[in-house]
Chain A
C-alpha cells in the first residue's frame, strides 16, 4: 500500500529563517504530488502540485518543492519564512495508475510555528 511520511511533527523557526519540510512516499510507479496548507481555523488549501515536467515546482506565497524520483521525495522549501506562514502543512500523493483508486494519500502533517 502507498504511504506518505513527513519527517517532522512540529518545526519552530524565527522569522526570516529558511524552511525545508521533508516528505517521502512509497510507490514505485507514476505519482502526482501535492502540498496542502491549513492556516489556523481555515480549510485546507493547495500550495503546489507536481504532475510531470520540471521537478522544481513553484507554488503560492513563495513556496517551492523539488521532486527527486530516486529518493521518492518531495520536500517543501521557502527561503525566508514569515509569521503568517504559521500553519500545518500536509504532503499528499496520488498514484493514478496504482492502488487506492487514484485517491490522495496524506502524510500526518507538520506544524510550523514561526516566531516573530
Chain B
C-alpha cells in the first residue's frame, strides 16, 4: 500500500522556535506538496516541489521554507514559529502527469 508518512501526529512548540515538519513518501513520486488546513478555510498551499532541490511558493509561503534534498523527503520549516501558525499541516505527493494526490495523515501543530 502506497504511503505518505508525516513524522509527527501532534506537536506543541513555543513561539520563536524553529520547527521542522517531515514528510516521506514511498511511491517514487516527483511532486510533493505542503498544505495547511484551517476550519472554514479549506486547504491552502504553502510550498510545493517538482523535483529534488526544486521548490516553488504556493499561496501562503510567508513564514515558511522547505527543503527537498532527497526525492522521497519533503520538509517544511517554520523559521520562527508564531501562534498564527497553529494549524493542521498536510503533506501530499503525486507522480508526474497524474493529477491525483496521496495525502499523509497530517501534523497538528500548536504554537504556544
Chain A interface (Cβ < 8 Å from any Cβ of B): 6, 9, 32, 34, 36, 42-46, 49, 51, 90, 94, 96, 101-104, 106-109
Q: Give Cα distance in the complex from A96 to B41, angstroms.
A: 24
Query: Are the C-beta atoms of A108 and B40 separated by less than 8 Å?
Result: yes
Query: Are the C-beta atoms of A108 and B42 separated by less than 8 Å?
Result: yes
Query: Are the C-beta atoms of A34 and B100 separated by less than 8 Å?
Result: yes
Given the interface pairs A43-B106, A103-B33, the reply to whether A108 lies near B41 with Cβ below 8 Å is: yes
Nearest CB in chain B: distance from A36 CB, A: 8
Q: In this complex, which of B42, B45, B103 has the most chain A Cβ atoms within 10 angstroms of its Cβ? A: B42
Given the interface pairs A32-B99, A34-B100, the reply to whether A107 lies near B90 with Cβ below 8 Å is: no
Given the interface pairs A42-B105, A43-B106, the reply to whether A104 lies near B90 with Cβ below 8 Å is: no
Q: List chain A residues, Cβ under 8 A from B41.
A: 108
Q: Give Cα distance in the complex from A96 to B101, angstroms.
A: 14
Given the interface pairs A44-B90, A103-B33, A103-B48, the reply to whether A90 lies near B43 with Cβ below 8 Å is: yes
The residue of chain B having its C-beta at the shortest distance from the C-beta of A91 within the complex is B42
Given the interface pairs A9-B40, A90-B42, A90-B43, the reply to whether A104 lies near B101 with Cβ below 8 Å is: yes
